[in-house]
């Protein structure tokens, strides 16, 4: 229970700090938001098929932008300017990955993702990029399939990376075939989203269920990428995946301002071998504290398994009654 109290304080501190409404929400947009496609016609069109290169940063971001634009009507009753849309979490996390260099080629065998080369390139050798694919392609294609986005299921296809093509899916049909449980969770989310009586808390519950399903076994699927990272960065990636499960259990709202502020606690660059929290000199106190807390959390998680997450979930459910 002492640990729960400690981690609870970290969660609350990280996810509720400075939640005063921004004077201009556009200041909180992820990098290159304005330059990213905002409608299907902004993508390449061939034979009435929209072709999206999800291995280019602004095109993957465009998928999120369309999602947010087209689902805005379902969140208007909770606040203005689409700020309460809980899909902002996916979008802003992708922006953080880009701005911190985590989408670039970690092997440095290419210039993919670097300012000296193609800074918009997303490397298939990036563990972060590969895991994020399952949190961009799947929710996007499930939304297409649900009818929310206004195009038919056979009108959208994503381009494959140059290698490991069999590890991914590229259209509604192949994603349902390859990852049925993950797609079904997103389908349930969009079905509930369209329910006239849908509550914010229930939407959030469905969103987190789909999010966690997308991550299930996904990080392990690309563990061979960790060879390109320092031990510190590889451990952070694994720890962050575990931490997300706790954020889901706590049903943390993934709205725009909240996620933007919470990401101030995340590492602003890729970790190197000499980085040891809480003594990383170019990190803030909060960033050092979050990294230290993640190490503790994952150590305890290995001992308790699902028990601690279940306890946190039950506490949250009881507090919302």
> What is the predicted pLDDT for the residue at 19?
53
Residue-wise pLDDT tens digits, 89-122: 999 999 999 999 999 999 999 999 999 899 999 9
Range with lowest mean pLDDT among 97-106, 232-241, 300-309: 300-309
293, 306, 304, 196: which is closest to 248 by C-alpha? 306
Q: How many domains is the chain partitioned into structurally?
A: 1
Distances, alpha carbon 39 to alpha carbons 52, 72, 81, 281, in Å: 12, 14, 18, 43
3-state SS assignment for residue 252: coil
> What is the predicted pLDDT for the residue at 306?
62
Q: What is the mean pLDDT of the chain?
A: 91
Range with lowest mean pLDDT among 22-31, 160-169, 194-203: 22-31
Residue-wise pLDDT tens digits, 243-302: 999 899 889 999 999 999 999 999 999 999 999 999 999 999 999 999 999 999 888 888
Over residues 164-186, mean pLDDT? 98
3-state SS assignment for residue 259: helix
Residue-wise pLDDT tens digits, 10-50: 544 555 454 555 568 999 999 999 999 999 999 999 999 99
Q: What residue numbers bound the domain in which 122 lies?
A: 2-319
């Amino acid at each position: 229970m002492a640990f729960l109290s400690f981690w609870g304080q970290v969660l609350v501190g990280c996810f509720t700090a400075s939640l005063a409404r921004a004077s201009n929400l556009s200041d909180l947009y992820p990098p290159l938001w304005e330059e990213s496609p905002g409608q299907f016609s902004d993508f390449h069109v061939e034979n009435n098929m929209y072709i999206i290169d999800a291995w280019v940063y602004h095109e993957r971001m465009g998928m999120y932008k369309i999602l947010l634009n087209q689902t805005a009507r379902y969140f208007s009753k909770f606040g203005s300017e689409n700020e309460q849309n809980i899909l902002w979490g996916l979008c802003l996390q992708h922006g953080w990955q880009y701005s911190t260099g985590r989408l670039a080629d970690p092997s440095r065998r290419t210039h993919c993702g670097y300012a000296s080369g193609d800074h918009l390139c997303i490397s298939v050798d990036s563990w972060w990029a590969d895991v994020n694919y399952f949190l961009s392609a799947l929710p996007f294609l499930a939304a297409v399939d649900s009818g929310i986005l206004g195009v038919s299921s056979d009108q959208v296809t994503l381009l494959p990376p140059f290698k490991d093509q069999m590890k991914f899916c590229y259209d509604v049909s192949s994603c349902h075939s390859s990852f049925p449980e993950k797609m079904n969770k997103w389908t349930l989310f969009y079905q509930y989203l369209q329910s006239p009586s849908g509550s914010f808390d229930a939407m959030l519950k469905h969103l987190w269920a789909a999010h966690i399903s997308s991550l299930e076994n996904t990080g392990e699927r690309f563990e061979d990428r960790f060879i390109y990272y320092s031990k510190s960065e590889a451990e952070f990636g694994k720890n962050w995946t575990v931490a997300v499960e706790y954020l889901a259990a706590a049903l943390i709202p993934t709205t725009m301002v909240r996620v933007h502020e919470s990401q101030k606690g995340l590492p602003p660059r890729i970790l190197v071998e000499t980085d040891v929290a809480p003594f990383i000199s170019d990190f803030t106190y909060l960033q050092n504290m979050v990294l230290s807390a993640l190490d503790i959390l994952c150590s305890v998680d290995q001992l308790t398994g699902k028990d601690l997450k279940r306890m946190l979930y039950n506490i949250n459910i009881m507090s919302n009654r």
